[in-house]
């Protein structure tokens, strides 16, 4: 049987002193005049005081849940987020402002992105004080929001200005900017029809851009990432990045078609940069085509491509090593080209942050 207990910091009228410890039960409380109706209610003089409710089962096990004031909630959030130095700034359209306090970087629980997954997100890298391919990523998230039937809380230029200002306030010169468009808060129903208005959230994260030259493994269990495969048996993509292969003796770069997979901004930029390897003779051709799992595992090189990983070599897929099980020359050359583009590329791919 579940019983309600309550304890107070001092004696309360109508209760004997021995009841100021965690030993009140429903029988004790029932001796106090209180309103009748559906269920038990504390008398008015008790409801005005801070309480701690304790639940207990038949085995006398109990737990205490404090009822906190808003200032106590903030203090506890600060303690819980202590040491989270990588979160530098967050914008929320719910409050229409930017905070640099990790404890205040919160979302409404009734936001449909939280409990229904009705939201879209994207990420742009911050390199040496520049946002890399912000316009390209922004165009993509706006297309995604349209397909997800999420109205925009602001026009495109206002969203861009907010994102740039959030990075500026953070002071971050190397990291990442992640941002979301959501159906917004309102209720816990399936339909977003009662959502107050769509929301924009953005957070600046200080990240380590150090590259792992040893590569990663791709398999279903216990590895870095899994690989999606279409119903036709063709390789699609990774969990949140594209894939590419080097075949034909290390002379041909192949990417799966973008028809039904992530239209990767980094992958598309890589296809532009790879022209430099063609001109140097490191590669003979580049193709976007269907790739089977069997052909992928037999490739000379395999790599993951995306904003979060940049270009990361895959050295093993399931039980099979890719090539010689080490980072290949094409993956390394493409990574160098991408890093150089991020540091000194044209204005079309870099937005200067006004700190």
DSSP bridge pairs for 346: none
Of the two residues 338 and 225, the one the predictor is more confident about is 338
Q: Please answer whether residues 41 and 34 qualify as being in contact, where contact means their C-beta atoms are separated by less than 8 angstroms.
A: yes
More confident residue, 263 or 168: 168
Q: Please give the CATH topology (third level) of the domain spanning 73-206.
A: D-amino Acid Aminotransferase; Chain A, domain 1 (3.30.470)
Summarize pLDDT for 223-247 with one digit per residue, the tens. Answer: 688 899 988 899 999 888 999 999 9
What is the residue-averaged pLDDT of the chain? Answer: 83
Question: Residue 59: its pLDDT value, please?
Answer: 53
Residue 13's pLDDT band (cuts 50, 70, 90): very low
Domains 73-206 and 216-344 share a fold: no
Q: What percent of the chain has pLDDT over 70?
A: 78
Given the candidates 3.20.10.10, 3.40.50.10310, 2.30.140.10, 3.40.50.970, the CATH classification of the domain at 216-344 is 3.20.10.10
Spell out the residues 6+ positions from residue 253 whose beta carbon is closer than 8 angstroms to its own: 244, 245, 246, 274, 277, 283, 285, 286, 287, 330
In Å, how far are 20, 24, 26, 78 from 56, measured between CA atoms?
Answer: 17, 11, 12, 30
Per-residue three-class SS string for 237-282: ECCCCEEEEEECCCCEEEECCCCCCCCCHHHHHHHHHCHHHHHHCC
The larger pLDDT score, comparing residue 123 to residue 211, is at 123
How much is the pLDDT for 46?
44
- pLDDT of 84 reads 76
Domain map (residue ranges) of the chain = 3-66, 73-206, 216-344
Place of tokens 């979060």: 308
127 pLDDT above the threshold of 50: yes
């Amino acid at each position: 049987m579940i019983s309600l207990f309550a304890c107070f910091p001092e004696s309360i009228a109508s209760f004997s002193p021995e009841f100021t410890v965690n030993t009140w039960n429903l029988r004790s409380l029932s001796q106090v005049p209180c309103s009748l109706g559906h269920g038990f209610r504390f008398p008015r003089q008790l409801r005005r005081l801070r309480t701690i409710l304790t639940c207990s089962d038949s085995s006398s096990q109990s737990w205490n849940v404090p009822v906190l004031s808003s200032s106590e909630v903030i203090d506890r959030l600060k303690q819980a987020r202590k040491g989270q130095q990588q979160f530098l700034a967050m914008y929320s359209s719910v409050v229409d402002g930017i905070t640099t306090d990790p404890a205040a970087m919160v979302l409404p629980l009734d936001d449909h992105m939280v409990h229904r997954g009705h939201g879209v997100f994207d990420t742009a890298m911050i390199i040496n004080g520049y946002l890399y391919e912000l316009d390209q990523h922004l165009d993509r998230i706006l297309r995604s929001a349209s397909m997800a039937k999420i109205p925009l809380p602001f026009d495109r230029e206002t969203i861009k200005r907010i994102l740039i200002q959030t990075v500026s306030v953070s002071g971050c010169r190397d990291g990442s900017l992640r941002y979301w468009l959501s159906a917004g808060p309102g209720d816990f129903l399936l339909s977003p029809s009662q959502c107050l208005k769509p929301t924009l959230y953005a957070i600046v994260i200080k990240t380590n851009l150090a590259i792992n030259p040893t590569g990663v493994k791709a398999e279903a269990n216990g590895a870095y990432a899994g690989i999606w495969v279409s119903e036709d048996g063709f390789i699609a993509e990774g969990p949140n990045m594209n894939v590419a292969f080097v075949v034909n003796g290390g002379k041909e770069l192949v990417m799966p078609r973008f028809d039904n997979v992530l239209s990767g901004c980094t992958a598309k930029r890589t296809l532009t940069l790879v022209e430099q390897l063609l001109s140097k003779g490191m590669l003979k051709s580049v193709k976007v085509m269907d790739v089977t799992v069997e052909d992928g595992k037999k490739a000379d090189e395999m790599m993951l491509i995306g904003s979060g990983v940049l270009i990361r070599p895959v050295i093993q897929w399931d039980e099979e090593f890719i090539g010689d099980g080490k980072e290949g020359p094409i993956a390394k050359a493409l990574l160098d080209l991408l890093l150089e583009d991020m540091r000194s590329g044209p204005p079309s791919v870099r937005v200067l942050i006004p700190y």
